[in-house]
Structure 1
């Protein structure tokens, strides 16, 4: 189990900030407690997720985050099964079955019987699915890259990258 650091953190006062961080006041503050982080993190993630969705083109905004995450996981781990996907995404098998069915209806994935176990169906990404995965992140990442360049200092960029690694650790726990 990962532990949060207990050393003081450098806190930046954005209210006093000028563009790109010049003139920001900083102070040492005690490390936040896990309940504080657990309270604020989902809110911040939800807001950023909504903004990233808003930055998608209208034709791409119809895909849910769970559909896109599942499609990405299929691309990375194919061939796979609904059960493996459900376990990896921390959802019920039935919920994952619905997500996979939606992806199949749109031609984003293919499926075939498992040659070694006829009860299983192996899922892979289709050419259409790969094309979708190549378009959507490019639009979202372009906006995010620009926002990061305009709003964050180099030190904040390093902190954000470290936070992303920690969030991945939590997601995989």
Structure 2
């Protein structure tokens, strides 16, 4: 499973990418949870605030996030995903799914594809519990 996860990451990462997976994780958090400070992001991502400041600076430099002063505390900056950042986050799952569908259809036998379909049905049933 670890190898499949690594392959999915590789397949959803364009070769000319200028971002790192820690940046994508941080960006995804901003997309799903809304604006946050560097210290809140660092806590959530389990990294040092200095490391998160570097991650956010890289995202800002690439136009994936923007910052504004916190209205409740003008000393703090809240970072939000830009439209470009949201587009990147939304594109990654599509690219992963596209690769996986292609790999399943070209690399597996009909019997193996039926086995996967049965496993998916079982996993969906478990998720509904």
TM-score by length of 1: 0.58
Superposed CA RMSD: 2.5
Alpha-carbon separation, structure 1, partners of 2:102 and 2:55: 31
Q: Which has the higher helix share?
A: 2
Greater Cα shift, 123-132 or 143-152: 143-152
Tell me by how many angstroms 1:155 deviates.
4.6
Q: In the alignment, which of 23, 36, 42 is matched to residue 67 of structure 1?
A: 23
User: What secondary structure sits across from 1:59 in the alignment?
Assistant: coil
Q: Residues 32-58 of structure 1, C-alpha deviation per residue, up to 9 Å, x if partnerless?
A: xxxxxxxxxxxx43x234312321332
Structure 1 runs of 4+ with >4 Å offset? 145-152, 159-162
Aligned to 1:80: 36
Change (3 A) 1:129 1:148: same
Greater length-normalized contact order (CA 8 Å, ≥ 6 residues apart): 2
Match of 1:109 in 2: 65
Summarize the Cα distance change of 1:102–1:84 in structure 2 as closer, same or farther, 3 Å threshold: same
* 2:80 is the alignment partner of 1:124: yes
Q: What is the distance in 1 between the residues matched to 2:56 and 2:125?
A: 31
- In structure 2, runs of 5+ residues without a counterpart are none
